[in-house]
A = this chain, B = another copy of it.
Amino acid sequence: MTDRSAADLVERAAGGDRGAIARLLSVVERGGDGARAALAALGSTPPYAHVVGITGAPGAGKSTLTGALVGALRSSGTRVAVIAVDPTSPVSGGAVLGDRIRMQVHEGDPGVYVRSMASRGAAGGLARSTPQAVRVLERAGFDPVLVETVGVGQSEIAVSAAADTTVVVVNPGWGDGVQAAKAGLLEVADVFVVNKADRPGADEAVRELESVVGQPALGDAAPGSWRPRVLTTVATEGRGVDGLVAALRAHREHLEATGQAVKRRERRIRGEVRGMVLEALAARADAVCEGPGFDSVVSQVAAGSLDPYTAARGLLTPDR
């Protein structure tokens, strides 16, 4: 793609052309020279959208909740985009189609854009090009942009670094405070949603989470700091979703009022540039860990004549 055609594509996407948006998303997802041209054309100028990360364990009902959230946001006239990050199947190499959101969204509504992305083994379960996809959707006038990721542990950290507001979805009976801490959830959540709250144990889950978020060590102790909200929803019936919309707005206002919005945006950019550095280096690792040279080194390690540390150093040395 030439720089001129990239600029043209960005202009059309900014005008709401869905074909152009789709093409631009594919270009940034694919990476390489096309992505370079597209990113140069996109720049990183405002408007910035409110980026909301939605995460939690598989089966927690994130997709249903995201679909219900899109409906609630649409009823107030907001244009909403969703990036649904699918973990990649290790054998087939393709994304598992877990996208249940689109099914819930009114077909042909120009105010909604849903995109699936494969995480392709990127650290943290977030697709490497997610920040660039957010840029495209921001530029196309969608605000908020919801980013749904499956997973526990590293995923939450990755999504929270890429988002302004992080929503962690759990279920009744999901686990006690130790489990939440173990999964790395407590320190990244701005909003906790206990979904499937019509099931037994919802009150207990809320109580446990409230007691944990109340601990000062887990929040910013400064005055005007944000204490994570704990909400309940029954996403399948749309119950509690308006409360979630209100919490997201409240957190956004909090970020703007305290000046943290700018800081989080900068954090997003730091993460984005770092992600691109890692991607470039991972490509180098891929190149080094294949072919006869790699096979020979593996055989030597298997035979006990070479240790893995020296093996890795040797693989990286030639073209250093």
Contacts and interface: CB of A to CB of B under 8 A. Distances in A.
A1 B310 CA distance: 16
A5 to B, nearest CB: 16
Nearest to A40: B307
A304 interface: yes
A114 interface: no
A157 B281 contact: no
A9 interface: no
A280 B45 contact: no
Contacts of A180: 58
Interface stretch (A119-127, A224-232, A251-259): A119-127
A315 B184 contact: no
Contacts of A152: 57-58, 87, 150-152
Interface residues of A, number: 80
B87 A184 contact: yes
Interface in A158-192: 160, 174-175, 178-184, 187-188
Contacts of A45: 304
Contacts of A309: 35-36, 39-40, 276
Given A57-B152, A280-B316, 12 more contacts: A44-B302, A58-B183, A59-B174, A87-B183, A96-B182, A131-B308, A150-B182, A152-B152, A273-B315, A274-B289, A276-B312, A278-B285
24 contacts: A39-B308, A39-B309, A44-B303, A57-B58, A58-B179, A58-B182, A59-B179, A87-B153, A89-B181, A90-B157, A96-B182, A98-B178, A119-B154, A122-B123, A123-B123, A123-B154, A152-B152, A153-B155, A270-B298, A273-B315, A276-B311, A277-B285, A279-B312, A281-B282
